[in-house]
Copies of this chain bind each other. A is one copy, B any other.
Amino acid sequence: MTTEPELVETAAALLVGAELLSGKVRDANLHELAGTLRRLGVELTRVVMITDDQDSLAAEIDALRHRHGVVFTSGGVGPTHDDVTIQAAAQAFGVPIEHSEEVEALMRRVYGDVLTAEHLRMARVPRGARLVYGSTSPWPAVTLGNVWLLPGVPEVFRAKLEIVRERIRGPGRFFSRNVYCRSDEAVLCQSLETVVAEFPAVSVGSYPKWGESSYRTHVTFDGRVAEEVDRSRDRFVALLPTDEVVRSD
């Protein structure tokens, strides 16, 4: 299928799993997703992490899908008792779960004779779900409305992000500039406030850095208009004493 990527402005992520909340497993997917969306020009505005409970997940999916252009869930799509994200999505959309002939055909091609009834649990999808294919893998991603139901296993999650990259786009790219300062944040407050007031379309961030000998504060300038971002960065640098800036880009 070659269709135009879908235009979305904002995204939310729902990370699913008791293993994340218990600290047993360190989430590896959010950072990948955040970077992918950023490069697509899509604004990730909310991330929620909860456990594998169907009713809670359904309520969360329903809340997120109405307030964001696209929602990505991570985890809970396997065949075992604690995989309830597919059912939760169906519940959120008020549709039943159906057997997908398309998924079964894919699985039969991969598993062949060793395919069991339990494998086929993974062929259950919410009614109305779409299988979205990318150019690099035979395995599609499952979407329902504006919700992408992605797996939690990091290697597989990353493979699905290839499909996201081909099928989603933002209204324009983001531009980022950086200034690394010798002083701590308190010294920079007033210059920062001047720039924030003068460049309302630029998002200015200030981050103290510990354990770094060359600079103490990293100041960031982000926006969708490159010239504005550049001008805000230049204005900030001009407000500082010359020996303050360690480097900028």
Q: Which residues of A contact B (CB under 8 A)?
A: 15, 18-27, 30-31, 33-38, 43-51, 78-83, 116, 118-119, 121-122, 153-156, 174, 176, 185-190, 192-193, 196, 203-208, 210-211, 220, 222
Check A46 against B48 for contact (C-beta < 8 Å): yes
Known A116-B186, A121-B189, A188-B80; judge A153-B208 contact (CB<8 A): yes
**Which residues from B are CB-within-8-Å of A153?**
208, 210
List 4 tightest A-B contacts by C-beta distance, closest first. A23-B34, A23-B35, A118-B186, A47-B49
**A67 smallest CB distance to B (angstroms):** 12
Check B45 against A21 for contact (C-beta < 8 Å): yes
**Which residues from B are CB-within-8-Å of A81?**
189, 192-193, 196, 204, 206
**A132 smallest CB distance to B (angstroms):** 22
**Which residues from B are CB-within-8-Å of A119?**
186
Smallest Cβ-Cβ distance to A53: which chain B residue: B45
Check B204 against A22 for contact (C-beta < 8 Å): no
**Which residues from B are CB-within-8-Å of A43?**
21
**Which residues from B are CB-within-8-Å of A48?**
46-49
Q: Residue A45 contacts which of B30, B50, B121, B222 (CB distance < 8 angstroms)?
A: B50
**A9 smallest CB distance to B (angstroms):** 14
**A205 smallest CB distance to B (angstroms):** 6
Q: Residue A82 contacts which of B19, B22, B186, B204 (CB distance < 8 angstroms)?
A: B204
CA distance A121 to B184 in the complex (A): 13
Check B118 against A189 for contact (C-beta < 8 Å): yes
**Which residues from B are CB-within-8-Å of A187?**
116, 118
Smallest Cβ-Cβ distance to A217: which chain B residue: B80
**Which residues from B are CB-within-8-Å of A15?**
47
Smallest Cβ-Cβ distance to A39: which chain B residue: B23
**Which residues from B are CB-within-8-Å of A35?**
23
**Which residues from B are CB-within-8-Å of A211?**
155
10 further A-B pairs in the complex, CB-CB below 8 A; given A23-B38, A27-B30: A21-B47, A22-B174, A25-B207, A46-B48, A47-B48, A81-B193, A81-B204, A116-B186, A118-B189, A121-B189
**Which residues from B are CB-within-8-Å of A44?**
21-23
**A48 smallest CB distance to B (angstroms):** 6
Smallest Cβ-Cβ distance to A178: which chain B residue: B24
**A71 smallest CB distance to B (angstroms):** 14
**A199 smallest CB distance to B (angstroms):** 12
